[in-house]
Structure 1
Amino acid sequence: MKVLTVIGARPQFIKAATVSRAIKEHNEENPDRTINEIIVHTGQHYDMNMSDIFFEEMDIPKPGYSLGIGGGTHGAMTGQQLEQIEKVLLKEQPDWVLVYGDTNSTLAGALAASKLHIKVAHVEAGLRSFNMKMPEEQNRILTDRISSALFCPTQTAVKNLEAEGYSNFGIDINIVGDVMYDAALFYTERAVKPSSIDDLDLSDGFVLSTIHRAENTDDRDRLSEIVSALNQLHLERPVVMPLHPRTKKKLEEFGLKLNVKLIDPIGYLEMVYLLARCTFVASDSGGVQKEAYFFNKHCLVLRDETEWVELVDNGSNFIVGTNKELITSKGEEILRKELPGSCFGQNLYGTGDAAKQVVAFLNNKK
C-alpha cells in the first residue's frame, strides 16, 4: 500500500514524525504487508530553524517532493499547492493521502486527492473554534468534509462532527487520541537545552511565551496589549520567547519593544526542554497550549477562543485574549501557586498510541 503524506508547517512535522515512526515499526513487523510512505513538503514554512531542523532532529524521512511554495496570499498559496500536489498524485497514484491539522497545505492536499477520487485521511479531525474568520477553521471544516477517514484526538472533536451530521456522510470517524501526545512522550528524554538561554538564571522558574497568530501580530492594539503584559510579567519572573519571524517583523513595524528574553526560533527538542521546565505558558498557538498540558503546566491562551475547550473546562488553561490586566492578573495568580494541580493527569488525549492506531486503520483498509 502507498500512502502520500502532505505537510508544510512546523506543527505538522511533529505530528507526521509519530505516524512515520509507526509506519516504520509496522513495516519491520509485517514485511509482507508494508506501507510505502511518500512525504510531500509544500514549503509553507521554510526556514532552516522552522523547517529543515525538524526533519533532522526528529528523524523524519526526507521528503520525496519539496514544492517550495510559501508566502503570498492564502488563495495564491493554496492554489499553487493544489496544482503541484495534483501533479504528484497523478504520478504516484497513492491509495491514501494523509493530511494533518488545519493549514493551507492540509486543504490543498485533501482537495487535490478528493478531486482525483483518492481517499483522504485527516489526522486531528473534528476540532472547531467556531470562528469562521480564522483561515484554520475554514481549512479544517472543508478538509473534514471531503475526507474518507477522520482521526479525532478527543471526544469533544467527535461530538463536533456528530453535531454537524457526519454520521450521515459515510465517513469513518475514529477517536484515537492525540499524536502530539505520542510525540511528547517519545521525545521528552531527547530534549535539548537551547544554547541561547545559557546566560539566563532560570533557577526560580520562567514563563514560556510564543506569539505568531496573524489576528494578534497584525493588529497593533492587540499586539501592544500582549507586549505590555509580558513586559510586566517579566518583572516578576523571566519571560522566554522564541521569536517568530512574523512577530519580529510586526514589532519593528509598530515600534513595540518586548523587554523579555527573546531567542531565535528553536527546534522541537529544545521546545520540549522549555515546556518541561517552565512555570507556565502564555501562547496564541493551538499546539503549544495543548503541549503545556502534557507537561502539567497552566497556559494563558492569548486568543478569544480555543479549539481545546476541554483544557479550559478542567481549569488547566485560561482564555485571556489580549487584555493586559487579565493576562497579568492570571499570570501572577499562577506564580503565587494559588491554582490547584488536580486538573492535570486526566488522560484527555489518549494513551500515547494514536499514531499506531492510525497506521493499523490504514493497513486494515488496504
Structure 2
Amino acid sequence: MATFTIVAGARPNFMKIAPIIHQLIKKQQEGISVKFRLVHTGQHYDKKMSGDFFEQLNIPEPDANLGGGGGTQAEQTASIMVAFEKELLENRPDLVLVVGDVTSTLSCSIAAKKLQIDVAHVEGGIRSGDLTMPEEINRMVTDSITDHFFTTSEIANSNLRKSGFAEEKIHYVGNTMIDTLMAQMPRFQKPAGEIFENLESGQYFVMTMHRPANVDQEHKLKAMIDAILEGTKGLPIIFPVHPRTAKNLQSLGIDAPNLHMTDPLGYLEFNYLVKNAKGVITDSGGITEEASVMNVPCVTLRDNTERAETIHLGTNELVGTDPVKLKPYLEKIMQGDWKQYQGIPLWDGKTAERIVDILLASYPHN
C-alpha cells in the first residue's frame, strides 16, 4: 500500500492540497490501495485564516494538528520540525508532500529528509530572486532536498534545470490552486454584511497587503494607501485586513468613506469579490494567479515576482513599491484599457489528477 503524508499550514496551502486530497479519495473509492494522512502544522491558527477552509473546500479534518503557530520565524520553524518529526516516527509514510513556500513547507521537508523519507514539492522551482523574502529561502532550501518537483510553469522547470536537478525529478503538471478555483467557482457567494450589499459588479476594487516592505513602515503604508485612494476615484475598495496590517493601520488615522476594511474572508466569499471586481491591488502571489484566470485586472505592489507567467500570459502587472508608479496603472484600469488573459499551459483544472497518477506510478500500491 502506498502511504503519503500531506502537509498544510497556512491559508494558501489548503487551496493547493484540496484537489490532491479529492483525487486520492477518488482512487481509494476505485479500490486502489493508497492511504494518506493530512497534517495541519497550525502555522495559521486563526479560524478565519484556516478553519473555514476544511468546510468550504470539502476536505476532511486533519489527522493531526501540530500547533506550530506564533513566535519568530526561527521559533516557528523549530516548533513545527520537532512536532512533525514525532508525527513521522509514529506514522511513517512513503512520501511527504509539501506545498508552496511557507515556514511549514521548509520545516516539514527537513524533518522528513532527516528520517530518510522522500519529499514531493508542489509548486517546486518558482523563484523571485529576492532573498529578503522568507518565502524565497523556504523555496530554495525545500527544493535543494526534494525528490519530486511538481511544477506550475516552464519558468519553474527552467529554474530547476539551471540548478542541476535531474529531468526525471521534474514533473510539469500545472497549478492545483487553479483546480480549486475552477471546481469552486459555481459556489462563489457574496459575503454577508452591509458593506457588500450595494457593490456593483465591475465598480469596486479588492485590495490585499501584508508584506513587510509595504506594511511595516507607517509613512510608506500611508503613502501607498493615499495613492490607491486617489487612483480609484472614489470607487469602493474592499480590504480584508491581514492581522499584522490591521495593527499598523490603527495608528495611521486614514479616514476614507470608500475604503472598507474587513476581517479576513472565506475562500468562496473572497473569490466572489475578485471575480466581480474592476481590479485587484495586491502584494500576494496566489491572488495574481486567480485574478489572471478569471481575467480580472491585477496590479502587484512588489519589486519582483516568482509568478512571471501571470505577467507574460495573465492579467497581472508588476508595479513595485513606489506609490508614484501606481498612478498610470490605475488610470488604465479605470479606462477599461487592460490586457486580457492569454491562457497559461496546463492551468486547466486537472493538475491534481496528474500529480496523483505520478505518485501512484512511483510508489507501490498493490
TM over 0.5, shorter chain: yes
Residue 184 of structure 2: which of 182, 187, 193 is its match? 187
Specify every segment of 5 or more residues in structure 1 that has no aligned partner in the other structure, as ranges: none
CA distance in 1, matches of 2:160, 2:206: 33
Residue 60 of structure 1 deviates from its aligned partner by 1.1
Equivalent residue number for residue 99 of structure 2 = 100
CA RMSD of aligned residues (A): 1.7
Count residues in correspondence: 360
Secondary structure, aligned partner of 1:235: coil
Residue 353 of structure 1: which of 343, 347, 350 is its match? 350
CA distance in 1, matches of 2:170, 2:220: 38
**Cα deviation per residue 1:59-111 (whole Å; 9 max; x = unaligned)?**
11111111111111101100110010000000001111010010110001100
Decide whether the 8 Å contact of 1:206 with 1:237 is kept in 2.
Answer: yes
Equivalent residue number for residue 252 of structure 1 = 250
Decide whether the 8 Å contact of 2:314 with 2:344 is kept in 1.
Answer: no
Identity, % of aligned positions: 37
Equivalent residue number for residue 275 of structure 1 = 274
Residue 15 of structure 1 deviates from its aligned partner by 0.6
Decide whether the 8 Å contact of 2:238 with 2:262 is kept in 1.
Answer: yes
Question: Does the C-alpha gap of structure 1 residues 257 and 247 become closer, same or farther in structure 2, counting only changes over 3 Å?
Answer: farther
Residue 165 of structure 1 deviates from its aligned partner by 1.3
Decide whether the 8 Å contact of 1:229 with 1:328 is kept in 2.
Answer: yes
Residue 163 of structure 1 deviates from its aligned partner by 1.2
Equivalent residue number for residue 17 of structure 1 = 18
Residue 174 of structure 1: which of 168, 171, 175 is its match? 171
Residue 221 of structure 1 deviates from its aligned partner by 3.5
Decide whether the 8 Å contact of 1:233 with 1:239 is kept in 2.
Answer: no
Question: Does the C-alpha gap of structure 1 residues 360 and 314 become closer, same or farther in structure 2, counting only changes over 3 Å?
Answer: closer
Secondary structure, aligned partner of 1:195: coil
CA distance in 2, matches of 1:315, 1:48: 31
Residue 253 of structure 1 deviates from its aligned partner by 4.1
Q: Name whichever of 244-253 and 202-211 sits farther off.
A: 202-211
Equivalent residue number for residue 331 of structure 2 = 332
Q: TM-score, normalised by structure 1?
A: 0.94
1:14 maps to a residue whose letter is M
Residue 275 of structure 1 deviates from its aligned partner by 1.6
CA distance in 1, matches of 2:279, 2:45: 29
Q: Name whichever of 199-208 and 297-306 sits farther off.
A: 199-208
Decide whether the 8 Å contact of 1:194 with 1:270 is kept in 2.
Answer: yes
Q: TM-score, normalised by structure 2?
A: 0.94
Residue 50 of structure 1 deviates from its aligned partner by 1.0
- The answer on 1:297 being equivalent to 2:271 is no
CA distance in 2, matches of 1:135, 1:327: 25
Decide whether the 8 Å contact of 1:148 with 1:171 is kept in 2.
Answer: no
Decide whether the 8 Å contact of 2:24 with 2:356 is kept in 1.
Answer: yes
Q: Name whichever of 348-357 and 43-52 sits farther off.
A: 348-357
Residue 257 of structure 1 deviates from its aligned partner by 4.9
CA distance in 1, matches of 2:256, 2:33: 51
Residue 44 of structure 1 deviates from its aligned partner by 0.8
Equivalent residue number for residue 208 of structure 1 = 206
CA distance in 2, matches of 1:71, 1:346: 39
Equivalent residue number for residue 38 of structure 2 = 39
Equivalent residue number for residue 81 of structure 2 = 82
Residue 255 of structure 1 deviates from its aligned partner by 4.6
Decide whether the 8 Å contact of 2:309 with 2:344 is kept in 1.
Answer: no
Question: Does the C-alpha gap of structure 1 residues 358 and 203 become closer, same or farther in structure 2, counting only changes over 3 Å?
Answer: closer
Question: Does the C-alpha gap of structure 1 residues 348 and 208 become closer, same or farther in structure 2, counting only changes over 3 Å?
Answer: farther
**Cα deviation per residue 1:252-281 (whole Å; 9 max; x = unaligned)?**
245555651222111111122112111111
Question: Does the C-alpha gap of structure 1 residues 39 and 225 become closer, same or farther in structure 2, counting only changes over 3 Å?
Answer: same
Decide whether the 8 Å contact of 1:320 with 1:326 is kept in 2.
Answer: yes
Residue 48 of structure 1 deviates from its aligned partner by 1.5
